[in-house]
Amino acid sequence: MVARIKDVRDVLEPGQTLTLHGWVRTRRDSKQGLSFIELNDGSCLGNLQIIVEGTTEGFEDQQKHITTGASLEVTGELKESPGKGQRVELHATKIVVLGSADPETYPLQKKRHTFEYLREIAHLRPRSNTFGAIARVRNAASAAIHNFFQSRHFLYVHTPIITTSDCEGAGQMFRVTTLDLARIAQIQTEIDYAQDFFGKAASLTVSGQLEAEIYATSTGPCYTFGPTFRAENSNTTRHLAEFWMVEPEIPFFDLQANMELAEEFIKYVISHVLETCAEDMDFFNQRIEKTVLETLKNIVDHDFERIPYTTAVEILEKADRKWEFPVQWGHDLQSEHERYLTEEHFKKPIILFDYPRTIKPFYMRCNEDGKTVRAMDVLVPRIGEIIGGSQREERLDVLEARMKECHLDPEDYWWYLDLRRFGTVPHAGFGLGFERLIQLLTGMQNIRDCIPFPRTPKNAEF
Ligand code: 4AD
Ligand code: MG
């Protein structure tokens, strides 16, 4: 039987004959002529100890190739382990080196490497403990997201990646073109997008929300979960140029209900990961961030605080703190402000709502005060903003006026306006930054380590 190490460690009983595949983490030779190989196949954090004797078939001629990073096929008998820290070990009867890894040049040696160095070898870093664990947590969180929405009968909608509308209206889009830009630069000063592949300027999407609204107002509650792209030149530990976003959209829903759903959603995903990734989560708590389990349990066990943006500004103004960026009503909160509120003032997640309309996109529902919109941001310790959402403007005339105020041409959004023209309904939704969630779950400092292949300014290797 061919087995994976997770099953071998967790469930299989001693006495069975097994074949395993994996990569050598370490090898130690005893004076008695035994070799102890720590084998890992990525199915779990823990390795399986393989015990090899001089008589093991294949060992003698291949033993010089059994070094860190080499891939093996091992057959043997599973036995109870006398050593501590493991239930079972494999006594090899046959060993085959499938691929050697020259110890002189293998970049991922046993010693601890910096995360900066590991980013340069992103093709090998998933073989390390940390990046294997992150990959499994990403996987478990993805499954939890689908479970959460599927069990509530939300429809999973695949929204387009190439788009001709700027959802957030922030102009931070990557252009998609087949035009020969080098040639155009030589012969004309302006680009004629009518000649381009789509007949007009197209970009990579910054959000699937507008299309999700189409389905929400047709087939009911839905969600998207896909890649989004932002050409913001932000070299921070919380920004990526390509990131994954989860965007539920719900008809017949208001801001209050939206906040409740966001809180329930975050708690559900965290609980699922704590339950299904216990070994990886203990690793993060011991080796990456000593407070990560405590923070996550605290999030799951307490109600989120909900306060209007205006109250948050008052708290920040009164805070005995020198801010790098001044606090002022009508300005976006900076990361330092968000983190103060959630980490120090409330010491738990908070949901800020009713933001000034001047700093929020056109689609958010205008409040009666004429100054604020029905926006909400969920802020969590160590990260700051993890979710942004709102109740949407469902009134045709108000939406058209807002578009003009935001210097958008309503004609470009004719289909979006049609949703208000024909059978409009109150609706709301939000977007969760998936990599920020992974940062929260793992305690990793830098968002670049929370996605397999990070894309950031001046960096799109692998
Ligand atoms: O607040 P944002 O811009 O909201 C939207 O895009 C809405 N259309 C969502 C909706 O209502 N359906 O982005 C949502 C979340 C942020 O809270 C943040 O977690 C994440 O996406 N995010 C980023 N994550 C990584 N890198 C970036 N550059 C990000 N920009 C936003
Ligand atoms: Mg936002």
Task: Write out pLDDT tens, residues 30-66.
Answer: 999 999 999 999 999 999 999 999 899 999 999 999 9
Distance from residue 428's CA to the centre of ligand 1 (Å): 15
CA distance 332 to 359: 7
Q: Which atom of ligand 1 is nearest to the CA of 388?
A: 1
pLDDT digits (tens, 9 = 90+) for 309-336: 999 999 999 999 999 999 999 999 999 9
CA distance 376 to 374: 7
Has residue 257 got a pLDDT over 90? Answer: yes
Distance from residue 294's CA to the centre of ligand 2 (Å): 26
Best mutation site among 204, 228, 243, 365 for ligand 1 pocket (most ligand atoms within 8 Å of CB): 243
Mean pLDDT calculated for residue range 290-298: 98
Q: Residue 110: its pLDDT value, please? A: 77
Mean pLDDT calculated for residue range 216-222: 98
Give residues with Cβ within 8 angstroms of 117, minimum separation 6: none
Mean pLDDT calculated for residue range 395-404: 97
Has residue 392 got a pLDDT over 80? Answer: yes
Q: Which atom of ligand 1 is nearest to the CA of 170?
A: 3
**Residues in the ligand 1 pocket, defined by CB under 6 Å:** 167-168, 207, 209, 230, 232, 239-240, 243, 245, 247, 385-390, 429-431, 433, 435-436
Q: Residue 185: its pLDDT value, please? A: 84
User: Which residues face 246 on adjacent strands?
Assistant: 225, 432
Distance from residue 64's CA to the centre of ligand 1 (Å): 51
Q: How confident is the model at residue 182 (pLDDT cuts 50, 70, 90)?
A: confident
DSSP string, 41-97: -SSSSS-EEEEE-TTSBTHHHHGGG--TT-EEEEEEEEEE-SSTT-SEEEEEEEEEE
The domain locations on the chain are 5-99, 125-449
pLDDT digits (tens, 9 = 90+) for 401-426: 999 999 999 999 999 999 999 999 99
CA distance 22 to 247: 37
C-alpha to C-alpha distances, 459 to 123, 128, 207, 240, 389, nearest whole angstrom: 14, 22, 22, 10, 29
Q: How confident is the model at residue 153 (pLDDT cuts 50, 70, 90)?
A: very high
Q: What residue owns the CA closest to ligand 1's atom 2?
A: 388
Q: Residue 169: its pLDDT value, please? A: 81
Burial 431-457 (b: 16+ CB within 10 A, else e): bbbbbbbbbbbbbbeebbbbbeebbbe
With tokens 């009134």, the residue in question is: 395
Mean pLDDT calculated for residue range 245-267: 98
Distance from residue 330's CA to the centre of ligand 2 (Å): 15
Has residue 179 got a pLDDT over 80? Answer: yes
Distance from residue 188's CA to the centre of ligand 2 (Å): 38
5-99 to CATH, choices 3.10.150.10, 3.40.50.970, 3.40.980.10, 2.40.50.140: 2.40.50.140
Strands 17-29 and 71-80 turn out to be antiparallel
Q: What residue owns the CA closest to ligand 1's atom 23?
A: 433
Distance from residue 431's CA to the centre of ligand 2 (Å): 8
Element at 350 (helix H, strand E)? strand 350-356
Tokens describing residue 30: 């005893």
Give residues with Cβ within 8 angstroms of 434, minimum separation 6: 138, 141, 142, 225, 243, 244, 245, 246
CA distance 163 to 63: 56
Has residue 171 got a pLDDT over 80? Answer: no
Fold classified for 125-449 = BirA Bifunctional Protein; domain 2 (3.30.930)
Mean pLDDT calculated for residue range 259-271: 98
